[in-house]
Amino acid sequence: MIQSIYDSPLYKMVNPASLAFYGASNNFGSMGSIILASVKGLGFEGPIYPIHPTEDNVQGYPAYRSLDDAPETPDLAVMVLPTAIVPERLEECGRKGVRHAIVVSGGFKEVGEEGRVLEGRLKAVAEQYGIRLLGPNCIGVANPYQKLNTTPFPYLGRPGFIGMASQSGSFITQMYSYLQRLDLGFSSAFSCGNEANVDIVDGLEYLGACPRTRVIALYVEGITRGREFVETARAISPHKPIVALYIGGSESGRRAGHSHTGAMAGPDRLYDGMFRQAGVVRARSVIELFDLCWALGTLPRPKGRRVAVLTDSGGPGVSGADACSRAGLVVPPFAPETLERLRPLVPHTGSINNPVDLTFHRNHMDFYTRIPQALLDDPETDSLMIYFLMPIEMMTRALEQMGLSPDEARAKSLEIIEHQGRTMAELKAGTDKPIVGYTWRSLDEPFIQTLRGHGLPVFPGPERAARALAALRDYDELRRKVLSSGTD
Amino acid sequence: MIQSIYDSPLYKMVNPASLAFYGASNNFGSMGSIILASVKGLGFEGPIYPIHPTEDNVQGYPAYRSLDDAPETPDLAVMVLPTAIVPERLEECGRKGVRHAIVVSGGFKEVGEEGRVLEGRLKAVAEQYGIRLLGPNCIGVANPYQKLNTTPFPYLGRPGFIGMASQSGSFITQMYSYLQRLDLGFSSAFSCGNEANVDIVDGLEYLGACPRTRVIALYVEGITRGREFVETARAISPHKPIVALYIGGSESGRRAGHSHTGAMAGPDRLYDGMFRQAGVVRARSVIELFDLCWALGTLPRPKGRRVAVLTDSGGPGVSGADACSRAGLVVPPFAPETLERLRPLVPHTGSINNPVDLTFHRNHMDFYTRIPQALLDDPETDSLMIYFLMPIEMMTRALEQMGLSPDEARAKSLEIIEHQGRTMAELKAGTDKPIVGYTWRSLDEPFIQTLRGHGLPVFPGPERAARALAALRDYDELRRKVLSSGTD
């Protein structure tokens, strides 16, 4: 394990002060140009030195024929070049004193024998000059805190708390908009590509040391340094959750992964055991990977698997309870004193048993205040899962019928929503139990956005909410096991 | 089985020419008033007769003290009244000659002994007058073709092809906005409530005969008439797909379902066997229920389980193949002639094997034309699953860099998107293999909306896309089994 984040080979790749850029031009269709546009787009503040064989100016930056001509030795070289010339250009970097490079270019070992030979040459150059390189065949790095984005996709959304190391670049770049929609974001993220010299274990180690990373996401197709992975993860997982998506367990996934990065993927249960030993929570899909990061990065760990479910609608209550059961949680009866508190708050057509079903009710504000408070105080449950509905079109229709203009009705609805969001935030602040929401409404709706803005994760459907709650508990149990068994 | 849709007890409930309305007032907060506002809101064109003890006018309609005073006998009575007075009001309807009623009011057998007695009285009145009634404790009916919506939620979206019978009202009304976001809609939908006199088997029978219903969705907590259910479903399923979500299989789901509608839910595997015998495809969540309806209502049945996967990105290809495997599909090698056709279209850093990975490529239009055409012509695969990405913010950024103004770039991007959508629609029109898409982008994005508008279902994540393809095949196999085994 590294002593400090500055010891990581990734530190200067994720936090460079200056860049050399190979492969960008003024032809905006090429991959290199697209990536340089991303770097510009996010507003990287350090100097950028494009290297170009003929142009004097590339996208507004003075360009150089060779790095030899550049006025300083940059922290990092980014290469988006034809495969065959990458080794010689890396040599140029080495001569100039550059010690970190990101090689986006593909065409190395993932395409067969010829590429394997080229990758060998690349590694030899890196070793000769002491260069640490990410890739080849990788998508680069995003660090929104540093305004750095060496990937082809414009970075969207906010700087966040999810640190990601991935064996697929797609799951970095193609998730920017997905995370933005959930108001989430990366602390930093990178893909390892062919792992010629820096691998996913290095990535894990860096993220473990990164103070902006609250939870680590891994996308794994195959781990070469298994023992180091387990040791590193065990050192990190007790104090920072790690979630991994491993694909390769199914026959078709394995074949596809092989042609993708050239890694040899082991069988599913081997990885399952390795993750468990390492204290790593396993996700089963990309969507679940980020769901679990969301929950683990924002919610307290529950004391057990017992869930209180709150709805104002029968079917969603049944689905919520069913989803909890299938996720390995229980929906137990409440303590007698909880039932006593609920009785005056719930009409006789509803249910005060778990799941609580308020049904249609005049004092609907109780749904956001006294009822969930009673459930959070219940000694027989460890967490709370709430169904959120509140269609804004119903609220505004009702207000219009009461005589408000459409604009007034809309404004009043938003005011009510904001009030309910604040109320939920207060409940959350006053408890050490996790609270999650579920809905089938759009996550872009004002009500759901407001709840999220107040720190409440609301998932599409009870299955995802229940799985997130279960993962909080899974993590707690894995963590205890790692702590109690000491280091290997 | 009914001979004609007109023989169904539900016909006049779903297609009434006129309504009596009990329980609405000019107090817009009450449930009855909210429902009448929904009826008005969707623009029901027949006469509406509110019955009210004191008001002369309810929400703009002349009101009557009793149905005796109304100028005609309406097709249907809708009742949103305090539990205790429902039986006597139903009697008033019977005397007037009304033969169909929807009883929204709750407080009957689902709340215990007292309610059970009241429900008995209600049933006795219905029998005495030959009234068929939906409910009690149900949410009513939506039939957008008839502009009828007797539910508390404003109907959103278009008239569609999904007919739904549900043992939870929530899964009718609370899905309006969900379906609207997917450009789907109900042909008609209703909840059965306590099934005092009309049950889910009657609902299934109605939807089987409904010409606007292309696929039937059922939400089941417990079926009382099991044998009739199987017989009815077997008569329908060979020519119209039926998808059922049964909850009650897990311990918590069963308890919750019991307090919800008072039905006794049987064990999971019993229902599993019953659905299989009946030719009914089973869904595992609400979201999956509608995913499968979407696929089954719009796509051809594949000849087998072999899928061609097309991506322009490695990780999503791996995930796509993995999702197929886990859904019981296979991702086999292509025929040699297919590989020959693909070779010139895919760069050497990509992959012409299944999943095809175009990677970054200049002739990206091939992704929408020649490549999928080669895959549709491949004799070794039965369906096609495509990953869709195309972030509009990247396209507009590139066009702006080429000198277009932001408005021009946006307009040009939308034009390209529309062209790609049309191209996909042409591919779809020229094949009898199903095509589905998957993405992690927002379903509200112009590109995804355009594809959907051209008839291509695009699912969030490969797991849902693969499950939908598998369900098409499951349905085909179930259907054959029902047809070959004849009637019981």
Q: Identify the bridge partners of residue B162 per DSSP, sorted by sequence position.
A: B186, B215
pLDDT at B262: 53
From chain A residues 224-283, the ones with a CB under 8 A of any chain B CB are 247-253, 255-257, 259-261
**Of the partner residues A154, A181, A362, the one whose CB lies closest to the CB of residue B442:** A181
Determine contact, residues B11/B206, Cβ cutoff 8 Å. Answer: yes
CB contact under 8 A, A401 and B219: no
Does B39 touch chain A if contact means CB atoms closer than 8 Å?
no
Average the pLDDT over B16-25 and give the result.
97
Average the pLDDT over A44-59 and give the result.
97
**Of the partner residues B353, B397, B463, the one whose CB lies closest to the CB of residue A259:** B353
Q: What is the ipTM metric for this complex?
A: 0.91
Residue A447 host element (H or E): helix A446-453
**A2-16, B207-221, B252-266, B410-424: which has the minimum mean pLDDT?**
B252-266
pLDDT at A488: 47
**Of the partner residues B170, B441, B463, the one whose CB lies closest to the CB of residue A313:** B170
Dihedral sign for Cα B273, B274, B279, B284, please. Answer: negative
From chain A residues 300-329, the ones with a CB under 8 A of any chain B CB are 309, 313-326
Structure tokens at B245: 């979500």
Average the pLDDT over A377-401 and give the result.
90
Is residue B214 very low, low, confident or very high in pLDDT (cuts 50, 70, 90)? very high
Residues in chain A: 488
Distance of CA B153 to the CA centre of its chain: 16
**What CA–CA distance (Å, rounded) separates B447 from B414?**
8
pLDDT at A256: 65
Q: Mean pLDDT across chain B, nearest whole number? A: 93
Average the pLDDT over A322-336 and give the result.
96
Q: Mean pLDDT across chain A, nearest whole number? A: 93
From chain B residues 177-196, the ones with a CB under 8 A of any chain A CB are 177-178, 181
pLDDT at A314: 86
pLDDT at B348: 83
Determine contact, residues B228/B199, Cβ cutoff 8 Å. Answer: no
CA distance A169 to chain B (A): 7
**B chain contacts of residue A181, beta-carbon cutoff 8 Å:** 442
CA distances from B363 to A131, A173, B447 (A): 35, 21, 18
CA distance A11 to chain B (A): 25
CB contact under 8 A, A110 and B349: yes
Among candidate residues B445, B182, B441, B455, the one with its CA nearest the CA of residue B313: B441
**B chain contacts of residue A249, beta-carbon cutoff 8 Å:** 322
Q: Tens digit of pLDDT for each residue in B45-94?
A: 999 999 999 999 999 999 999 999 999 999 999 999 999 999 999 999 99
pLDDT at B468: 98
From chain A residues 406-435, the ones with a CB under 8 A of any chain B CB are none
DSSP for A187-233, please give it.
EEEEE-TT-SSS-HHHHHHHHHH-TT-SEEEEEES--S-HHHHHHHH
**Of the partner residues A37, A248, A319, the one whose CB lies closest to the CB of residue B401:** A37
Q: Tens digit of pLDDT for each residue in B330-354?
A: 999 999 999 999 999 998 888 999 9
pLDDT at B488: 47
Average the pLDDT over B183-206 and give the result.
97
DSSP for B418-433, please give it.
HHHHHHHHHHHHT-SS
Q: Tens digit of pLDDT for each residue in A125-153?
A: 999 999 999 999 999 999 999 999 999 99
**Of the partner residues A255, A315, A330, the one whose CB lies closest to the CB of residue B219:** A315
Does B444 touch chain A if contact means CB atoms closer than 8 Å?
yes
CB contact under 8 A, B442 and A261: no
Interface test with B, best of A170, A445, A449 (most B CBs within 10 A): A170
CB contact under 8 A, A175 and B440: yes
CB contact under 8 A, A394 and B153: yes
Average the pLDDT over B253-278 and give the result.
73
Closest chain B residue to the Cα of A463, Cα to Cα: B285
Q: Tens digit of pLDDT for each residue in A30-44?
A: 899 999 999 999 999
pLDDT at A262: 53
Average the pLDDT over B446-465 and give the result.
95
Average the pLDDT over B116-130 and give the result.
97
Cis peptide before B136 (omega within 30 of 0): yes
Those residues with Cβ within 8 angstroms of residue A487's Cβ, 6 or more apart along the chain or in another chain: A231, A234, A235
DSSP state of A76: E
pLDDT at A111: 85
Is the pLDDT assigned to residue A430 strictly greater than 80?
Answer: yes
**A chain contacts of residue B174, beta-carbon cutoff 8 Å:** 313, 315-316, 389, 440
**What CA–CA distance (Å, rounded) separates A35 from A41?**
9
Is residue A332 very low, low, confident or very high in pLDDT (cuts 50, 70, 90)? very high
**What CA–CA distance (Å, rounded) separates B117 from B441?**
53
pLDDT at B273: 93
Is residue A264 very low, low, confident or very high in pLDDT (cuts 50, 70, 90)? very low
Is the pLDDT assigned to residue A117 strictly greater than 70?
Answer: yes
Buried-state track B60-98, b at ≥16 Cβ within 10 A, e below 16: ebebbeebeebeeebbbbbbbbebeebbebbbbbbebeb
**What CA–CA distance (Å, rounded) separates B29 from B13?**
25
CA distance A205 to chain B (A): 22
CB contact under 8 A, B250 and A325: yes
pLDDT at A139: 92
pLDDT at B327: 96
Q: pTM for the complete prediction? A: 0.93
CB contact under 8 A, B359 and A156: no
Residue A342 host element (H or E): helix A336-342
**What CA–CA distance (Å, rounded) separates B383 from A124?**
45
**A21-25, A315-319, B393-397: which has the minimum mean pLDDT?**
B393-397
∠ CA B290-B295-B301, rounded to 5°: 145
From chain A residues 53-72, the ones with a CB under 8 A of any chain B CB are none
**A70-79, B463-472, B477-486: which has the minimum mean pLDDT?**
B477-486
Q: Which domains does chain B have, with CATH numbers?
A: 5-296 (3.40.50.261), 300-475 (3.40.50.261)
DSSP state of B351: B
Buried-state track A388-401, b at ≥16 Cβ within 10 A, e below 16: bbbbbebbbbbbbb
